[in-house]
Amino acid sequence: SSHSFFLTAYVGWNFKLDSTFGLTDYMNIGNSGFLYYLAPSTGLEYQQRYAAKNPAIEGAITRWYFSMDARLRFKNGKGFTRRYLGLTLFELTANYTGRKKIGSNLAIPENYTHLFKTEFSYYPLQTENFSIGLSYNNGEDPISAIELQNFWQLAFKLKLTY
């Protein structure tokens, strides 16, 4: 356990080439009911650890950060042209985040970390307020203090709005 102070600066891209390709926005794949979403980002992270139980993890580290978020969504409804018509039936998501050390004064070496997350979500009521999902996680996130892990998870998600 330790305490940390960190600064992050990430850059993402948001553009639409035409009606068939864009980033950080759901785009139709023809009139099939399938939509895709891509969101790449990159940046820098600075983390200063202090008051650690293990003095070897105290110190500063600077990392290069990169991430790709990809999603494939299916909405029931044939032949629609506006992306918000139809109700979501299922969604497949995948996210990969990598971090590469640029500089560090830590006694314990940290060179490269990754975190891969994927999830299949089914919306049986065709509303985003309830879903059943199966997810897989592999990797670590030093900023969130998530150590190296590898697990499957079954989730029932209920969204309540007030």
Residue type, 131: S
pLDDT string in tens for the chain (162-residue length): 677 888 999 998 777 766 667 777 777 777 777 888 888 999 999 998 887 777 777 888 899 999 999 999 887 765 444 444 567 889 999 999 999 999 988 777 788 999 999 999 998 887 778 999 999 999 998 887 778 899 999 999 998 888
Specify the pLDDT at position 15: 73
Q: CB neighbours (10 Å) of residue 78?
A: 8
The reported pLDDT for the residue numbered 79 is 44
Q: Give the pLDDT score at 19.
A: 62
5, 32 in Cβ contact below 8 A? no
Asked if 6 and 62 touch (Cβ cutoff 8 Å), the reply is: no
DSSP state of 16: B
Task: State which amino acid sits at residue 35.
Answer: L
Q: Are 130 and 123 in contact (CB under 8 A)?
A: yes
pTM (predicted TM-score): 0.80
pLDDT at position 82 is: 46
